[in-house]
Amino acid sequence: MKIRQQRTIEKNICKKMILLSFCMILMVSMAGCGNKRKENLTITNVSYDPTREFYEKYNKDFIKYYKDKYGKKVEVIQSHGGSGSQARSVVEGSNGDVVTLALEHDISLIEQTGLINKGWQKRFSNDSAPYTSTIVFLVRKGNKKSIKDWKDLIKKGVEVITPDPKSSGGACWNFLAALGYAKTKWSDENKQKEFMRRLYHNVSVMDSGARGATTTFVENGKGDVLIAWENEAIATMKSYGGKYEIVNPSVSILAQPSVAIVDDNAKANGSEEVSKRYLDFLYTKQAQRLIGKSGYRPTDKEILQEFGNEFDLSIKLWTIDDFGGWEKAYQKYFDDDAMFDEIYNY
C-alpha cells in the first residue's frame, strides 16, 4: 500500500514539473514574440475612399525615408471607406494610429470621444490639411447632355451620380459646392432649397462612398454626370483615356481633407513618434509633388504652380468658413432632419 502511495506521489510531482516546464517555455516564447513586436514598427492609416492609390505610393516613399533617416523598418497598413463610416469605425474600436479623412468634422467626432487630443487642427500646418481638392463634374466623351454648370444638373432627363452625405465626406463637399452655386444665384433660402431639391431629385444612384460612386458611373455605366472630387476625376481620365471629360463648374468649394494622430491608440501601440513623422512627411517637397501628381492640390504654393496646367485655378471657390465652419454646417445641412433630409426622400 505504501509503495503504491509513493508511486502516486512521484507521478504527481512529475506531472507538476512537466507542467511548470511547459509554462516557463511558453513565457519565454511569448516574451520573444513581444520583443519582435517592439522591433517591428507598424502603423495603421484610416483614410477615406479615393486616397487608396495616393497612399500606396506615399507609404513606399515614407518607408524608405524612415529607414534611411532613422535606421528602422516601418510597416503601414491602409484602411479605406466612406469618411464618415471610417470615423465611426475608429470611435467603435478600429485601432488606427492616424486618420486622414475627408472632413475636419469627421476627425472632430473622434476628438469628442477623447481618442484625439483637443487642438489637433494646430498640430500640423494649414490647419492639419496637407492637400486640398475641389468638386468637378465627370461626363462621358461628347457630353451629350451639354452639361456645363450646376444649372444643367437640374434639367429633366439628366441622371446625376453622387454619394450619400450621411456616410461620405466627399458627398458633403458635393452638397456644399452645389449650395454655394445656389447661394451665388439667389439670396432667398427657399429658392436655394428648391434648386437643391431639383438637383437631388435627379440623383439616380447614391452610393455610400466616393469610390463607389465612381464605380457606378465608370464601371457600371450609370448616369450622365458624376459629381466628383477633382483628384478622382483626374485619375479616371488617366485610367480611361478618351472616354470621359472633366467639366469645371463656375462655382465650387475648397475641399480640405484633414489629418490627425489618434493619440490614445498611438500611445497604446507605442507608435506616437512614427505616427507624427508619417504625417509630417506629407508636407515635404517630395510628398507635395507626389500629391500634385496624384491629382490633389498641394498646399505648398510653389509646387502648386508646377501643376498649374493640371488644375483650373480660376474657379470661384467657396470655403467651409462661408458656411459658418464645419460644426454649424453639419448641424444645418447634414444632421437628422437638417436640409439634406428636408430636400431628399430616401
- Tell me the pLDDT tens digit for each residue of 76-90: 999 999 999 999 999
Beta partners for residue 101, in sequence order: 258
Rounded Cα distance, 86 and 92, in Å: 10
Sign of CA dihedral 208, 211, 212, 218: positive
Which three cell numbers mark 213?
460612386
H or E element, residue 10? helix 2-39
- Tell me the pLDDT tens digit for each residue of 272-325: 999 999 999 999 999 999 999 999 999 999 999 999 888 998 999 999 999 999
Strand, coil or helix: 203: strand
> pTM (2 decimals)?
0.85
- Tell me the pLDDT tens digit for each residue of 23-82: 343 343 444 444 333 467 999 999 998 999 999 999 999 999 999 999 999 999 999 999
| Type of residue found at 77 | I
Could you tell me the CA-to-CA distances from 214 to 14, 47, 87, 105, 128 in Å, in that order? 67, 17, 21, 23, 27
Beta partners for residue 100, in sequence order: 47, 259
Rounded Cα distance, 177 and 103, in Å: 14
135-254+315-343, what's its fold? D-Maltodextrin-Binding Protein; domain 2 (3.40.190)
- Given this chain, do its domains 40-131+257-306 and 135-254+315-343 carry the same CATH topology? yes
The second-level CATH assignment, the architecture, of 40-131+257-306 is 3-Layer(aba) Sandwich (3.40)
Strand, coil or helix: 277: helix
Which three cell numbers mark 278?
508619417
Domain boundaries defined on the chain: 40-131+257-306, 135-254+315-343
Rounded Cα distance, 136 and 226, in Å: 8
